[in-house]
């Protein structure tokens, strides 16, 4: 055998050996990737809840466990199928890395995130499509699911709940839901996450402590219902509204299981749910995310009622000249004037001057606190000033201030005053 052939054969053998070893590594690396199909009511919020768990690779909304019904949203939601035991269930196929999250932990999240004692419903979602169901792919998954369910049943029974209605079956066929259902929450930013959890935890140390709601039963209050787990709508509301809110009416956060002593009308199974209370009784509420301008219009009606301030804030009205608030605010001590709704600083006494106009006048607003709009109403060409935080109307800016500076002509009724030492 010549040297060239010998070296070629050795190279082939070596290459094959490397390829075989790579294949073996790749094969073994996928052994810990599993899937299980879970139904716990509407799949929209459930999908995002699973994806937020470390170790979950993907979650796909779909349909399963139906016979004689076409696996699409139009057919499963028909009235005739509402009570059909052969209807498909709304489910989520969860693919996860078992080295990062084991099946037991995943199923604990599943049971904690809904009410498995409800039969063919979750809250206001009623029908067989909303049944609680686990569709396993192998005997090991079946055994883990059975044991986890039994453990949770004992915890539920101790807390006065009835029997778990969750169906446990082997997966036959999973059908992907329509594309518009996938990542539904990301595609629909102004919605809510269903939250039907019982509040019962596998780890009893994590049980939700009861809170004292006595302060929420006095005066006007804002209460935001948030979830025990992840809700992207809640995160958006916090980022866009709550984190910057500094108003004089307190804003509190509660779980649906921690609302004792409050007289509510709005269902509490959605997050966020925004409640406006007076003396512990709901004045009105809203289920779902509210962008800042919409939130502050609701809040404005709650705080201001039918007042001159509301007319100014939301109907571009104008204070009466030399109104009561103007007389109070024109000579305040050192401090700032804040948005009456958001509490964000808008104008500083250091920039205030007496224009003799009968309205508060400033040479400038607090930096980045306002924005301008063209206003051609009443046959005039003016520049309107609005609050960045709440979007409410504040007044107008004119070019006739002292020493060539602007004059911000501002309605006093939409402001509150804060001493500088209290900022």
**Paired sense of beta strands 174-176 and 167-170, if any:** unpaired
* Catalytic choice (16, 42, 193, 231): 42
Would 192 be classed as within a structural domain? no
Residues 285 and 396 in one domain: no
Please give the helix or strand (H or E) that residue 23 lies within, else none. Answer: helix 3-29
- 330 has a pLDDT exceeding 80: yes
Residues 162 and 266 in one domain: no
**pLDDT tier for residue 30 given thresholds of 50, 70 and 90:** low
Residues 177 and 257 in one domain: no
Would 11 be classed as within a structural domain? no
Q: Of 304, 326, 355, which residue constitutes the final position of a domain?
A: 304
Beta-ladder partners of 37: 93, 135
For 252-256, 361-365, 378-382, 410-414, which range has the lowest pLDDT when averaged over its residues?
Answer: 378-382
CATH code for the domain of 139: 3.30.1060.10
Residues 80 and 150 in one domain: yes
Q: What is the pLDDT of residues 200-220, one digit of tens each?
A: 999 877 666 678 999 999 999
C-alpha 338/C-alpha 332 separation (Å) is: 13
| Dihedral-angle region of residue 78 (phi above 0 means left; psi in -120 to 50 means alpha; beta otherwise) | beta
Q: Which of these, 289, 285, 279, 281, lies nearest to 266 by C-alpha position?
A: 285
193 catalytic residue (yes or no):
no
Count the domains in the chain. 3
pTM score, two decimals?
0.79
CATH code for the domain of 417: 2.170.150.20
Phi and psi angles of residue 33, each rounded to the nearest 5 degrees, phi first: -90, 120
**Paired sense of beta strands 335-339 and 352-353, if any:** unpaired
* Catalytic choice (193, 231, 234, 409): 409
CATH code for the domain of 249: 3.40.30.10
Residues 291 and 325 in one domain: no
Q: Which of these, 25, 38, 11, lies nearest to 116 by C-alpha position?
A: 38
pLDDT value at residue 317: 95
Residues 236 and 342 in one domain: no
pLDDT value at residue 423: 83
Q: Which residue has the higher pLDDT, 413 or 2?
A: 413
- 21 has a pLDDT exceeding 60: no
231 catalytic residue (yes or no):
no
Residues 343 and 412 in one domain: yes
What stretches of 182-241 adopt beta strand conformation (E)?
193-194, 220-225
Domain extent, residue 357, equals 314-422
Q: What is the pLDDT of residues 244-265, one digit of tens each?
A: 999 999 999 999 989 999 999 9
Residues 130 and 48 in one domain: yes
Q: What is the pLDDT of residues 292-311, one digit of tens each?
A: 999 999 999 999 999 999 99
């Amino acid at each position: 055998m010549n040297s060239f052939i010998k070296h070629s054969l050795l190279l082939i053998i070596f290459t094959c050996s490397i390829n075989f070893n790579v294949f073996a590594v790749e094969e073994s690396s996928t052994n810990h990737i599993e899937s299980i199909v879970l139904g716990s009511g509407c799949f929209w919020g459930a999908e995002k809840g699973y994806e937020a768990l470390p170790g979950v690779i993907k979650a796909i909304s779909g349909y399963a466990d139906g016979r004689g019904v076409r696996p699409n949203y139009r057919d499963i939601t028909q009235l005739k199928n509402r009570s059909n035991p052969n209807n498909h269930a709304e489910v989520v196929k969860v693919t996860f890395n078992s080295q990062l999250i084991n099946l037991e932990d995943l199923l604990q999240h599943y049971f904690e995130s809904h009410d498995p004692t409800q039969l063919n419903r979750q809250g206001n979602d009623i029908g067989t499509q909303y049944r609680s169901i686990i569709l396993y792919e192998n005997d090991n998954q079946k055994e883990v699911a059975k044991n986890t369910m039994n453990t949770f049943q004992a915890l539920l029974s101790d807390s006065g709940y009835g029997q778990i209605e969750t169906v446990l079956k082997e997966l036959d066929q999973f059908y992907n839901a329509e594309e518009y259902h996938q990542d539904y929450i990301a595609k629909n930013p102004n919605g809510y996450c269903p939250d039907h959890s019982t509040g019962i935890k596998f780890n009893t140390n994590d049980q939700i402590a009861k809170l004292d709601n006595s302060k929420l039963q006095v005066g006007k209050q804002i209460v935001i219902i948030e979830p025990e787990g992840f809700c992207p709508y809640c995160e958006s509301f916090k980022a866009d509204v709550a984190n910057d809110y500094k108003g004089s009416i307190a804003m509190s956060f509660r779980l649906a299981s921690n609302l004792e002593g409050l007289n509510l009308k709005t269902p509490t199974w959605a997050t966020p749910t925004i409640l406006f209370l007076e003396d512990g009784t709901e004045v009105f509420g809203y289920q779902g995310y509210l962008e800042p301008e919409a939130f502050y219009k609701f809040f404005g009606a709650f705080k201001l009622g039918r007042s001159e301030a509301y007319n100014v804030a939301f109907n571009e009205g104008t204070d009466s000249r030399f109104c009561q608030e103007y007389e109070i605010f024109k000579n305040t001590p050192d401090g700032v004037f804040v948005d009456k709704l958001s509490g964000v600083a808008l104008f500083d006494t250091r920039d205030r001057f007496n224009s003799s106009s009968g309205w508060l006048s400033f040479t400038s607003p607090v930096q980045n606190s306002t924005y301008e709009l063209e206003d051609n109403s009443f046959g005039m060409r003016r520049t309107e000033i609005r609050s960045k935080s709440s979007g409410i109307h504040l007044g107008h800016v004119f070019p006739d201030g002292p020493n060539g500076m602007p004059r911000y002509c501002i309605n006093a009724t939409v402001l509150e005053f804060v001493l500088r030492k209290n900022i």
